[in-house]
Amino acid sequence: MINFEEELKKFHPSLEVEDAEEAIYNQDLTDAADLLVKMIKESEKKEEK
């Protein structure tokens, strides 16, 4: 049986157009490739030491 109150908590306010700019700036764009490059560079630094 669906609980209305509980289900209602799953709905969040939608972003308005004015808020789009802020949402874009705050988006975390770090991807797996970035992590890999970072790991490789860190390992290279360790080897150099």
Partner 1 sequence: MFCYNCGCHLSEHDFCTSCGADVSLYKKIMCMSNRFYNDGLEKAGVRDLTGAINSLRQSLKFNKNNIEARNLLGLVYFETGEVVAALSEWVISKNMRPEKNIADDYINMLQSNASRLDAINQTIKKYNQALVYCNQDSKDLAIIQLKKVLSLNPKFIRAHQLLALLYMDSEQWDRAERELRKCVDIDRNNTLTLRYLKEVEMQLAPDENSRQTGRRKKDDAVRYQSDNEIIIQPLNVKEQKSAGLSSLVNIAIGLVIGLAVMYFLVVPAAVSNANNEAQKTITDIGNQLDTKTSRIQELEAQMAALQTENDTLNQELQGYVGTDGTLQTIDSLLAAATTYLETQDVTQTAANLESISSSVDVDSTSEAFQKLYKTLLGIIGPQLSAQYYETGYNAYRSEDYAAAIENLSKAVIYDETNKDAWLSLGNSYRKSDDAKNAITTYDKIIELFPDTETARSAQRYRSQLAENTAQ
Contact positions toward partner 1, by CB under 8 A?
1-2, 4, 7-8, 10-20, 23-24, 27, 29-34, 36-37, 40
Q: At its nearest, how many Å lie between partner 1 and the CB of residue 33?
A: 5
Distance CA 46, CA 38 (A): 12
Q: Residue 29 or residue 49: which is nearer to partner 1 going by CB?
A: 29
Q: At its nearest, how many Å lie between partner 1 and the CB of residue 28?
A: 10
Break the chain down into helix, strand, coil percent, rounded to 5. Answer: 65, 0, 35
Q: Biggest alpha carbon distance in the chain?
A: 62
